[in-house]
Structure 1
Amino acid sequence: MGEFHHSIDAKGRLIVPAKFREALNPSFVLTRGMDGCLFGYPQAEWQKLQEKLTALPLTKKSARTFSRMLLSGAAECELDKQGRINLPNNLIQHAALDKECVLIGVSNRIEIWSAARWQQYADDAEDDFDELSENLIDFGL
């Protein structure tokens, strides 16, 4: 959990906050996320997700499309000695990352957002937060 602001350097490297490094070390999987961000999964969590994707019905177009988008964009990333990752170009483009990024911890994954996109998303979500909380009562929250 948490929100951290970091910059991508000229070589496409991004510092991963120390708080996230232990869970992601030595390598993790980075892929396209929803809402225009990137999802980063520790290896164990990625394996669980892959098992669920494999169980999806091949005959459902939405299942095929979701699996294709998530898996085709996936890349294994390793932290260097300074705690940085080298972001793949296709994922930089997907998330419209430029210099300023926001990394957030969300349950079993991290998310990487462009700072501008995250600010817009957070502003919009904050406006709906009370209504969202009422709707989540059905899920036991």
Structure 2
Amino acid sequence: MLMGEFTHTIDSKGRLIIPAKFREQLGAHFIVTRGLDGCLFGYPLNEWAILEQKLKALPLTKRDARAFVRFLYSAATDCEIDKQGRINIPITLRTHAPLEKKCVIVGVSNRLEIWSAERWNKFTSETADNFDEIAEDLNIDF
């Protein structure tokens, strides 16, 4: 399970350190693609295969299904962790997120998320203000 929050800096070449805590669970290669809420999603290969089966089951006749699959796959990239523990994030993904300097890498169960620090701080601030209401709406029992 991927969990935790880590801050790292992305360099001008798009290289970002993946926290050591996540590397073993992700493997030497994993998939990074556009995520929701303006972040990137990173999936270990086994989790990507599960998602892929779900995407293949979507009806090709539905416009939203086609658009979602195109958007997700068109930016997906196989990332390899180098000897320094970094991955190289393509410009398409850096633009989507928008990653410029300070980044936050978050473990979210079966995937990681990569956020610009500015967007992450805004998201967590807004979510913290509504956390009780969100839990109530979802009927979360702690």
Percent sequence identity over matched residues?
A: 60
**Equivalent AA in structure 2 for residue 112 of structure 1:** I
Equivalence for 2:78: 76
2:38 is aligned to 36
Rounded Cα–Cα distance in structure 2 between residues aligned with 1:37 and 1:107: 16
**Counterpart check, 1:49 vs 2:44:** no
Q: Structure 1 segments of 4 or more deviating over 3 A?
A: none
CA–CA distance in structure 2, aligned partners of residues 35 and 12 of structure 1: 20
- Structure 2: stretches of 5+ with no match in the other structure: none
Name the CA distance, whole Å, in 2 between partners of 1:102 and 1:83.
15
**How many pairs align?**
140
Alpha-carbon deviation of 1:140? 6.5
Give the TM-score of the pair, scaled to structure 2: 0.95
For the pair 1:16 / 2:18, whether they are aligned, the reply is yes
Q: Aligned partners of 2:45 and 2:120: how far apart in 1? A: 25
* Distance in structure 2 (CA, Å) of the matches to 1:53 and 1:110: 19
Q: Secondary structure at the match of 1:10?
A: coil
Q: CA RMSD in A?
A: 1.1
Partner of 2:127: 125
Partner of 1:91: helix, strand, or coil?
Answer: helix
* TM-score normalised over the length of structure 1: 0.96
**How big is the shift at 1:107?**
1.1
> Quick one: distance in 2 between partners of 1:76 and 1:99?
22
